[in-house]
Chains A and B, each alone.
Chain A
Amino acid sequence: DVKVTQSSRYLVKRTGEKVFLECVQDMDHENMFWYRQDPGLGLRLIYFSYDVKMKEKGDIPEGYSVSREKKERFSLILESASTNQTSMYLCATSVITDTQYFGPGTRLTVL
């Protein structure tokens, strides 16, 4: 079974803090994704990576950056957290031609 883990289930941060969300997968998948999910807006892609050190912007990259130094690990960074970044953050992985496998999510609250 594919296992995708995220560093925290719940996280509370203050405005202006630098926030790191980490995602780790154990299946040697090439692709990794970060989404945010908000009521009424669905899942929106923030960034994805198709190889180590490779990244591409998704639909809403503003205010976020990512890092992929190792194949199994994909980090999402909020350089200066703002209240409008309060959301559920979901990580996913995949190989070409297969479905995406999701982690359990991190519910981030920015005060």
Chain B
Amino acid sequence: KQEVTQIPAALSVPEGENLVLNCSFTDSAIYNLQWFRQDPGKGLTSLLLIQSSQREQTSGRLNASLDKSSGRSTLYIAASQPGDSATYLCAVGLFGNEKLTFGTGTRLTIIP
């Protein structure tokens, strides 16, 4: 059974710093990996989707990488801003996009 782990559970960094969030998964036979953002009490917003054949995806200040062989993904956020404060979740798809297995998330706080 696929397990997805995100460490640390919470992270605080000063505004303007670059930071990396980590995600690890136990079964490397994945179809894709996705990063989501969740604001308190709200639903999830998709940030980046990496297909299994890709190594990375970029959107603005965000860059996500994927290393299937080691079962790891990272989300890099450049020049962090207070508006980046949220919980970030990674999710792994095994068969198409029908089912995703989610990590428990990293709660990020950017200190002004």
Using CB atoms and an 8 Å cutoff, list the residues of chain A in contact with chain B.
Answer: 4, 31, 40-45, 48, 50, 56, 58, 90, 92, 94-105, 107
Q: Is the CB of A105 within 8 A of B43?
A: yes
How large, as a class, is the contact surface on chain B? 20 to 34
Q: How many whole Å from A88's CB to the nearest CB in chain B?
A: 8
Q: Is the CB of B102 within 8 A of A102?
A: no
Instruction: Give the chain B neighbours of A96 by CB distance below 8 A.
Output: 96-97
Instruction: Give the chain B neighbours of A48 by CB distance below 8 A.
Output: 98-99
* Contact pick for A42, options B43, B45, B46, B105, CB 8 Å: B105
Q: How many whole Å from A41's CB to the nearest CB in chain B?
A: 7
User: How many Å lie between the Cα of A42 and that of B107 in the bound state?
Assistant: 12
* Contact pick for A41, options B36, B43, B99, B104, CB 8 Å: B104
Instruction: Give the chain A neighbours of B66 by CB distance below 8 A.
Output: none
